[in-house]
Amino acid sequence: QLQYHAGLASGLLNQQSLKRSANQMGVSAKRRPKAQPTTLVLPPQYVDDVINRIDRMFPEMSIQLSRPNGTSAMLLVTLGKVLKVIVVMRSLFIDRTIVKGYSENVYTEDGKLDIWSKSNYQVFQKVTDHATTALLHYQLPQMPDVVVRSFMTWLRSYIKLFQAPCQRCGKFLQDGLPPTWRDFRTLEAFHDTCRQ
């Protein structure tokens, strides 16, 4: 009777092809490879114009643009007297952000923007992590200028980093930190543990 049931099971399994089974590996290898994403290369003048427009949009935010490596832009964004952000860009695509305190040094010993060292303060390390998450949220390869504007609008919400209470618990501090998370749509402030 065991042989009978094993034979039935074998017959049923052979009738249904599983996508990831060993006998299907040859079929998937014949598929066309996925096209690699192409990055839109925009002229530096266009990038400069977009950054200048964003700089004029937000009076409490100053943006200094430099091109130490030729075409790649690096921004030093100063948000009031709260924080400074180094934004590394490739064309109009943001590659990396580093958030530091307003009084922290953002330059290396040779006078270049320091894109590798993190802030000495835990609050700005958290904001750096949230900014990296925001970069993943604001993805629209067809309209990179909208992405940069949306990211800068989100970043501007940190002007009240030390003044805004958490929208969920109503407290200013939790575990010694202000609410460092900003909602991507509403820009409301939340503590890390309160946002979930």
pLDDT tens sequence across 129-154: 999 999 999 988 888 889 999 999 99
pLDDT > 90 in the chain, percent: 67
Q: Is residue 125 part of a domain?
A: yes
Q: Is residue 143 part of a domain?
A: yes
Contact indicator for 194, 166 with CB cutoff of 8 Å: yes
Mean pLDDT lowest among 35-44, 56-65, 71-80? 35-44
Q: Is residue 193 part of a domain?
A: no
Tokens for 67?
Answer: 């091109």
Q: Is residue 24 part of a domain?
A: no
pTM over 0.85: no
Q: Is residue 17 part of a domain?
A: no
* Angle at alpha carbon of residue 79, lines to 111 and 41, rounded to 5°: 70
CB count in 10 Å sphere of residue 115: 16
Q: Is residue 38 part of a domain?
A: no
Number of domains into which the chain is organized: 1
CB count in 10 Å sphere of residue 76: 16
State the residue for tokens 């800068």.
Answer: 152
Q: Is residue 101 part of a domain?
A: yes
Strands 93-101 and 189-190, sheet pairing? unpaired
* Helix 122-137 / helix 144-156 crossing angle, nearest 10 deg: 150
* Angle at alpha carbon of residue 89, lines to 83 and 93, rounded to 5°: 115
What residue numbers bound the domain in which 85 lies? Answer: 44-161
Contact indicator for 152, 61 with CB cutoff of 8 Å: yes
Q: Is residue 119 part of a domain?
A: yes
